[in-house]
């Protein structure tokens, strides 16, 4: 993962701290990045901050007032999904859930919810149709080595890996 600040190498998280400039043996100057290994707590803090930013962006983009058909009940929330049996899940700003039966929503909100449910179903259907394409995984050299006649030892691996590896084109 590289987002300009956080790097991942062999599942270790690194943070770019700056650069260092040095002269090579042939007399040319080189500039290289300097990295620092992050602790698990620092990685967790960065990931939580990123999750909070994503939530705030979604909230600001999708929030709306949901009303019941009597007009007495109003909640500012975003659509959180269809819970089944005619119930819609709404998410409030503090991420708490409100389960609301479709029949209690105002006409406009029912139409909006129906549209969102259709979009949700359409996306789920498209995802299931892609089927095999989405499940094809690209083998790394370890899988390739263990599924060939040369064996893993040619690449420095001793563990045997199942041969259910598929190659993408």
Task: With respect to residue 58, please indicate whether it lies within any of the assigned structural domains.
Answer: no
81 and 120 Cβ atoms separated by less than 8 Å = yes
Q: pLDDT tens digits, residue range 48-90? A: 999 999 999 999 999 999 999 988 889 999 999 998 888 999 9
Residue 42: what pLDDT? Answer: 87
> Is 116 in the same domain as 68?
yes
CA 155/CA 12 separation, integer angstroms: 22
C-alpha distances (whole Å) from 91 to each of 72, 80, 88, 117 are 19, 6, 10, 15
Q: Are residues 81 and 124 in the same domain?
A: yes
Q: What is the mean pLDDT of the chain?
A: 77
The pLDDT assigned to 169 comes to 39
* The two structure tokens encoding residue 42: 């620092």
Question: Does residue 57 lie within any of the structural domains?
Answer: no
Residues 128 and 140 in one domain: no
Residue numbers of the domain that contains 142: 136-169
Low-confidence ranges of the chain (pLDDT < 50): 1-4, 132, 134-169
Among 133, 149, 87, 148, residue whose Cα is nearest residue 113: 87
Count of the separate structural domains present in the chain: 3
78 and 124 share one domain: yes
Query: Structure pTM?
Result: 0.57
143 and 167 assigned to the same domain? yes
């Amino acid at each position: 993962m590289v987002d300009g600040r956080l790097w991942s190498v062999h599942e270790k998280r690194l943070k770019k701290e700056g650069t260092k400039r040095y002269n090579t043996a042939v007399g040319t100057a080189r500039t290289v990045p300097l990295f620092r290994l992050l602790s698990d707590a620092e990685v967790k803090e960065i990931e939580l901050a990123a999750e909070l930013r994503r939530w705030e962006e979604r909230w600001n983009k999708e929030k709306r007032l949901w009303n019941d058909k009597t007009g007495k009940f109003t909640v500012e929330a975003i659509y959180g999904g269809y819970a089944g049996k005619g119930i819609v899940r709404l998410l409030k700003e503090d991420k708490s859930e409100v389960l609301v039966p479709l029949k209690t929503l105002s006409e406009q909100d029912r139409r909006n919810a129906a549209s969102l449910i259709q979009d949700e179903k359409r996306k789920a259907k498209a995802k299931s149709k892609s089927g095999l394409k989405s499940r094809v995984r690209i083998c790394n050299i370890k899988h390739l080595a263990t599924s060939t006649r040369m064996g893993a030892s040619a690449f420095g691996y001793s563990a045997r890996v199942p041969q259910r590896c598929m190659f993408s084109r």
